[in-house]
């Protein structure tokens, strides 16, 4: 059931409506401390959804929300769960998003 919930939720993280996108990121930020390691089965699906367009967003609210989500992941999940998806994203992103992900890896 966790996959079904987050499969539907990840679409909101890519939503073309910036307000929906930002609220989804802010909601994700609130859920991470509550779910912690329970997110491990869906983390490889969620990180691309949270990072791809959001860390390069020109909308300051979306960028800030995405940055907060990445920070919450780093605070509440074991680093070994984040290493592979962060490496993959850092390898294929560009611009500010690549810089942000590389800094988190370091």
In 3D, which of 103, 105, 64, 102 has the Cα closest to residue 82?
105
pTM as predicted: 0.93
Residue 1 has pLDDT above 90, yes or no: no
Containing 61, the helix (H) or strand (E) segment is helix 60-76
Residue 85: pLDDT band (50, 70, 90) is: very high
Residue 2 has pLDDT above 90, yes or no: no
Domain positions in the chain: 1-104
* 37-84 pLDDT, tens digit each: 999 999 999 999 999 889 999 999 999 999 999 999 999 999 999 999
């Amino acid at each position: 059931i966790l996959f079904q919930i987050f499969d539907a939720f990840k679409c909101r993280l890519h939503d073309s409506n910036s307000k929906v996108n930002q609220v989804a990121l802010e909601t994700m930020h609130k859920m991470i401390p509550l779910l912690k390691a329970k997110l491990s089965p869906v983390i490889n699906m969620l990180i691309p959804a949270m990072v791809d367009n959001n860390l390069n967003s020109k909308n300051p609210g979306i960028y800030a929300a995405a940055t907060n989500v990445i920070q919450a992941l780093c605070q509440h999940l074991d680093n070994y769960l984040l290493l592979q998806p962060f490496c993959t994203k850092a390898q294929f992103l560009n611009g500010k998003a690549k810089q942000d992900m590389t800094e988190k890896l370091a």
